[in-house]
Amino acid sequence: MPPPFSLPASRTEVVLEEIRRGILTRELRPGQPLVEAELAQRLGVSKTPVREALKVLSNSGLVTFSPYKGASVCVVDAELARSVYDVRMVLEPEALRRVVRRGEPELFDEAAETLKTASAALADKDHVTLSLLNRQFHRALYRGCGNPLLVSILDDLRDRAALITVVGWDASPSWRQEWAEHRAVLNAARKGEAGAAEDLLRRHIGSFLERVLGAIGPANDAKEA
């Protein structure tokens, strides 16, 4: 039986998604303090679900806690970008290769639908939607790999990767290039070309990392891009 102070998961989840969206759309800026009382008032809830949501977001890398300043939005630096993208470049292309080798093209249906939605967002220059769709697209590529632990590890990186993506796009709005690369990866995957899809995805992740590091700059490793 859960302890009496536990709240319905749905309420905490709603608060969690609202704060996550605020961070990934830059409504909540890197380094910005996240005051429980202010967020609770804004979202129309008590402080408890806000507190629980901030703990979850701390675990996923979007929020940092300081013993003196409390919670704040994570600031992306070069060290964080390198560490997250290093893991992605090792695991995500391998996961995609496994999906392709299963020989089930329908596993890529969600990724294809995401591309269609992104086309409209590109036409409208809606970079907020594109950022959220980018996160969705990448998960749609690897989730059918057949290894739940591998999916879980990559899922745990999704928030950090999305935040890094937003920083990169803030400095250099290259979303058209990103989605052209997505299309090439998906085309190879749906054709059953496992090696080509794997290589294209690895290059896609690596080239974006280079752009992010260029935007952050060696002198700004501990600052916001």
Residue range 4-31, pLDDT digits in tens = 444 445 788 899 999 998 998 888 988 9
> Does the pLDDT at position 189 exceed 90?
yes
Distance in angstroms (rounded) separating the CA atoms of residues 40 and 195: 48
Give the Å distances, CA to CA, from 175 to 119, 144, 166: 11, 25, 10
Q: What is the pLDDT of residue 69?
A: 83
What's the distance, CA 2 to chain centroid? 31
Residue position matching structure tokens 């990866």 = 185
User: Looking at the domain 78-220, which fold is it?
Assistant: Four Helix Bundle (Hemerythrin (Met), subunit A) (1.20.120)
Q: Is pLDDT above 80 for 44?
A: yes
Predicted local confidence at residue 143, as pLDDT: 96
Q: Give the pLDDT confidence score for residue 168 in this predicted structure.
A: 82
Helix (H) or strand (E) holding 146: none
Question: Which one is the CATH code of 9-73: 3.40.50.300, 2.40.50.320, 3.40.50.2300, 1.10.10.10?
Answer: 1.10.10.10
